[in-house]
Amino acid sequence: EAQAYVALISKGTISAGELAYYSDLPRTKIYPTLLKLENKKLAIISKSKPIMCTAIAPEDAFDSIIHEQINKVNAMNTLVSNLKKASEESRKSRGSEEKRYFHVSANNVLEHLRTMIECSKSSINIMVDQWGLGLLEECKEQLLSVLRRNLEVRLLLPSAQICSESYRAIPNEVKIRISDIIQNCFVFDETEVLMVNNENGKGAIFSSTEVLGVNQNRMFADIWRNSIKTESLADMTKNEAQEVYKIIRIINENGLTHILNSTMISKKPELDMLKLLEKNGINLKGKSLDEIIEIMDAVLQIMCSGHVNFDANTKNITIESKLNSGHSLPWVSILDGCLQKQGYKTRTVYQNNSSKGEKVLIKISKN
């Protein structure tokens, strides 16, 4: 039937014999086929002989069929919409509501990330591991673009990435801190969230101003508040920066307990602090005074916005901290111990100002 109808459309009004020829149908089947086309209102057959046949134009032949199918589809769409509405109302009555997110294939994650960075209007908060940092490194142009618009971009990295090549590829204006990161999460303008799986590279985009977005922002803010600053490490080699971070971690985790034990059983707790570091793989004995002061200065900047200054004329070392209540004392103890190990005689003077922080003066002289 289809072959016959196409032949009629192509050739116009032709005889039954010609139709059999052009449609490549046996003559014995051409008349039953024509009757079927006529019954379906796809062709007109003449009553005279020889029998002539003409195709009905497609727009006329199929118009009613098309409208019938359109009506069926519309009816189905209406039914689905009503069912969906009933489902949503049922969820709302139970206190739940459906939200959607978009899957992003591994091949398209980078393109989406670049677009989302470029389209940000107020802020970008990022948590990434080594894999995610490599992905972010590919977005340097987009980061520079938003930074020129004075957007705040904050980045949390795992400690292993301090001063790595990928770390140095990130624009200087990005605020970077160190924490233990176990996910790759990008939050744009506190509403849009891109999460990426580092195992398969696939991503998911969530657009939400409610639970998900709020929770991600709160989690980021909490981690950021307790993370370690990296500005003072920027000019160090990776090994030097890793050493500073390791010193901070050791003292933060074990320093207080060690000091309390030392005050009870040791006459020189400051030397015991050095032993604690040595026990954990940090050896400061072989370093010069300048190197030790540089390390302690970086530590003080990170931990209490402080500094270590050495006055070569007076042979005095000043340790200043913007935080009081003894925040600088563990680091003073380590510095004091290093000086004693190098043969210096030391005397410390502690000053505390509730509004300006604290200052410790270490007066040194050769034994």
Q: Residue 135 phi/psi, 5° resolution? A: -65, -45
The confidence score (pLDDT) of residue 194 equals: 92
The set of residues, in sequence order, having a beta carbon less than 8 Å from that of 240 and lying 6+ positions away, is 163, 233
Task: Please state, in angstroms and rounded to a whole number, the distance separating the CA atoms of residues 126 and 260.
Answer: 38
Q: Among residues 241, 281, 244, which one has the least CA distance to residue 161?
A: 241
Q: Which domains does the chain have, with CATH numbers?
A: 2-61 (1.10.10.10), 102-229 (3.30.870.10), 233-366 (3.30.1380)
Q: Check residue 294 and give its pLDDT.
A: 92
Backbone angles phi, psi at 124, to 5 degrees: -135, 125
Q: What token pair was written down for 63?
A: 């118009």
Give the model's pLDDT for residue 365: 83
Phi-psi region of 41 (alpha: psi -120 to 50; beta: other; left: phi over 0): left
Joined together, the tokens standing for residue 327 give 């925040």
Phi-psi region at 95: left, alpha or beta (left = phi > 0; alpha = psi -120 to 50): left
pLDDT at 271 (0 to 100)? 59
pLDDT of the residue at 259: 66
Instruction: Please report the pLDDT score of residue 274 as a whole number.
Output: 83
User: What is the full per-residue pLDDT of the chain (367 aa) written as tens digits?
Assistant: 888 888 888 888 888 888 888 888 888 888 888 888 888 888 888 887 888 888 888 888 778 778 888 888 888 888 888 888 877 676 666 555 556 678 899 999 999 999 999 999 999 999 999 999 999 999 999 999 999 999 999 999 998 999 999 999 999 999 999 998 778 999 998 888 999 998 899 999 887 656 677 788 888 999 999 898 998 988 899 999 999 999 988 888 887 666 666 666 655 655 578 888 888 888 888 888 889 999 999 999 998 889 999 988 888 899 999 887 778 888 888 888 888 888 888 888 888 777 788 889 999 887 6
